[in-house]
Structure 1
Amino acid sequence: MSDHRASDHRLVASRFGGPEVIEAEPLADTPVAAGKVRVRHRAIGVNFIDTYHRTGLYPQPLPAPLGVEAAGVVEAIGAGVAGVAIGQRVAYMAAQPGAYATWADVDPAILVALPDAIDDETAAAVLLKGVTVQTLVHGCARMEAGQTALVHAAAGGVGRLMVPWLVAIGVRVIAHAGNADKAAIAHGLGADVALDCPYGELAAAVRAATGGEGVDVVFDGVGAASWEASLDSLRPRGLMVSFGNASGPVPPTSPLELTKRGSLFLTRPRAFDYVATGAEMDAAAADLFAMLEKGKLGVEIGLRLPLDQAADAHRALEGRRTTGSIVLLP
């Protein structure tokens, strides 16, 4: 541990704004608090929610910590903690940011023990996205074999897991991506139909692919740009799952917009509400790891960068210049 102390630091947003507001702060070498576990990070996941914390879309006190998932090794254990061992490989996803750091003290209830088959970079790349997919598909939408789903940003970090997950349980997937190359990736992941048309043409294309009916469920992490197309792609009594704002927050919408499209259902879920207990988190993670170990899911890490280049990671993510996941290495 002493080898790390001089360089231990975390990254924060000194003010709300663009990637340039990300700055380093030293971490003091203090004893781990009672009820906490210190995790020495080996890999840190980058997610769109990190940009929301940086810009203030999801406001928090400044300087604002960043990052909500990481994988590493248990380095120290506070008083009163049981069931965790020094040197144990773990990963976590946290509702409160702070993972952009060389280490973090976390609640042991959010720790997930890593199987030998799951390496640190894979865990950091997949835990939040994978648990998000598990909760969206099963806990929220309760998808069943024979149903149809439209998946936006199908070649992105979440999309690359959601498409094959849905296919694995027998759902017919219509994928949408930002260009032809990304649509080809979605098709390779198992999507029955892969589109890259403008949003203004998307609903018509979806209806053409479903015999005019529309899909049972739309999974939309894009937000403002795709909002109208998503609603117009649903069958009557279909479910709109809006789970992200990659293009900006969705516009104010009257409930009558749902009525006139056939009594649609709308939800804005948060994964943490579906894994609110340690047992729920363990079950979701076990489901994810089983999918990985059976080869139903693949994890592509499209970009690896040193922790201190997190600003570049945000630029790449917001500029949609990557496919797959982004991992920071301390």
Structure 2
Amino acid sequence: MSRVVAVHSTGGPEVLSVEDWPVTAPGPGQVRVRQTAIGLNFIDTYQRSGLYPLPLPFVAGNEAAGEVTEIGEGVSEVKVGDRVCYQGVTGAYAEERLVPAARLVPIPDGVDERTAAAVLLKGLTAYYLLFKTWPVRQGETILWHAAAGGTGLIATQWARALGATIIGTAGSPEKVALALDHGCHHAIDYKKEDFPARVKEITGGRGVDVVYDGVGKATFEGSLDCLRPRGLLASFGNASGPVSVPDLGILARKGSLYVTRPTGATYFTQREDLLEGAKALFDAILSGAIKVEISRTFALADAAEAHRALEGRETTGSVLLLP
């Protein structure tokens, strides 16, 4: 049996239920993993609330690291004893579980399992946004919302290493200071400042080349106002609610702008793409370009408390659940 955190009906953090579920032997193409660290991500709350519907019941969570303890028929990607991590495979809030071998990423020497669990999903999100959605070039200026969050702290460091000028937003003086310590050249407290006006001031009226926005509804129109003509808004999250665009003419009026809504599920459908992104991420960590900030840990049984802290904007950097 494995201790898990399950969802039987959608709703608030109170629907998370700590239970014992059986773990079978791995079938063809499957691997059994004993997990040592589990990443907490906003997508976990979207699935729990029903914003991103999943068949009920399900085990929550999408990212973890641990050790391979058993492999199924035909598995060649990993072997028993390997340290591995994964992201984008629902069911991570568990002591042990089965994972498709093709979704596992070997953890390189020099990276511990807590770091891997804290960084893979967020880091791969940063990777596809910075290298695929809008490949950031030296000399460009970008705006990253929630720059003191888990994805933000990784992405702003990475973008700075690419030679971009980074403007970040955050929701308190403490978070502004953290953003400035992790890659941002400029940081804006959006609770106290008009962030589009500050962006125009910082850029001399030009605007930024690209806005990376995981906040969603609350920042959408302001993000458009931050862009230069023909700039791109990459809207990749819904922390304040989903975005709707009933009038596409707004993009014309604000400068022939582009908007995209990317997701890692599309970028990492092929194993070679997953491994390419993970290698780039771990190389950046090992080189020192990215320093991983694990701000808090919770026991697995306290997952509901962790969700409340995340949704209440009480966290910075990465947060882990520990089995």
TM-score of the pair, normalised by structure 1:
0.95
Indicate the residue corresponding to 1:311 in structure 2.
304
Q: Which amino acid aligns with 2:30?
A: K
Kindly provide the amino acid, as one letter, of the partner of residue 174 in structure 1: I
Please tell me the residue identity of whatever aligns with 1:281: L
Q: Which residue in 2 is equivalent to 1:15?
A: 9
Contact kept in structure 2, 1:130 and 1:288, CA below 8 Å: yes
CA contact (8 A) 2:23 2:98 kept: no
Which of 22, 32, 52 matches 1:28?
A: 22
Distance 1:207 1:13 in 2: 44
* Structure 1 vs Structure 2 CA RMSD: 1.2
Matched, 1:52 2:52: no
Residue in structure 1 matched with residue 268 of structure 2 by the alignment:
275
TM-score, normalising length from structure 2?
0.97
Residue in structure 2 matching 1:222, options 215, 220, 225 = 215
SS of equivalent residue, structure 1 residue 170:
coil
Return the alpha-carbon distance in structure 2 between the equivalents of residues 234 and 199 of structure 1: 21
What's 2:105 paired with?
A: 112
**Which residue of structure 1 lines up, in the alignment, with residue 189 of structure 2?**
196
Give secondary structure in 2 for the equivalent of 1:158: helix
* Cα shift readout 1:214-271 (whole Å, capped 9, x = no counterpart): 1000000001111111011101100000000111112333211111111101000001
Q: How many residues are aligned here?
A: 323
For residues 64 and 30 of structure 1, do their structure 2 counterparts lie closer, same or farther at Cα, with a shift above 3 Å needed? closer
Moved beyond 3 Å, runs of 4+: 197-200
Distance in 2 (CA, whole Å) between partners of 1:271 and 1:51 is 17
SS of corresponding position for 2:195: helix
Displacement of 1:200 in angstroms is 7.3
The answer on 1:65 being equivalent to 2:59 is yes
> Counterparts of 1:292-311 in structure 2 under 5 Å?
292-311=285-304
Partner of residue 86 from structure 1, selected from 71, 80, 97: 80
Q: Is the 8 A contact 1:130 1:158 kept in 2?
A: yes
* Secondary structure, aligned partner of 1:299: coil
Comparing 79-88 with 42-51, greater Cα deviation is found at: 79-88
2:146 aligns to what? 153
In the alignment, the residues of structure 2 paired with residue 128 and residue 286 of structure 1 have an alpha-carbon distance, to the nearest angstrom, of 13
Structure 2 regions of 5+ residues with no counterpart? none
The Cα of 1:25 is off from its aligned counterpart by 3.0
Is the aligned partner of 1:43 residue 2:37?
Answer: yes
C-alpha separation between the residues in 2 aligned to 1:252 and 1:195? Answer: 26
Structure 1: runs of 5 or more not aligned: none
The answer to whether the aligner puts 1:264 opposite 2:257 as a matched pair is yes
CA distance in 2, matches of 1:329, 1:133: 24
Secondary structure class of the residue paired with 2:116: helix
| Residue pair 1:199, 1:229 contacting (<8 A) in 2 also | no
Contact 2:142 2:164 in 1 (8 A): yes
1:38-94 CA distance string (max 9 Å, x none) = 111010000000000000000011113211110000011111112321111000112
Task: Look up the match of 1:164.
Answer: 157
Asked whether the equivalents of residues 136 and 271 of structure 1 are also in contact (C-alpha less than 8 Å), the reply is: no
Q: What percent of counterpart residues are identical?
A: 48
The CA deviation at 1:15 is 0.8
Structure 1 distance, partners of 2:152, 2:23, is 39
Q: 1:140 aligned to 2:130? A: no
What letter is aligned with 2:148? A
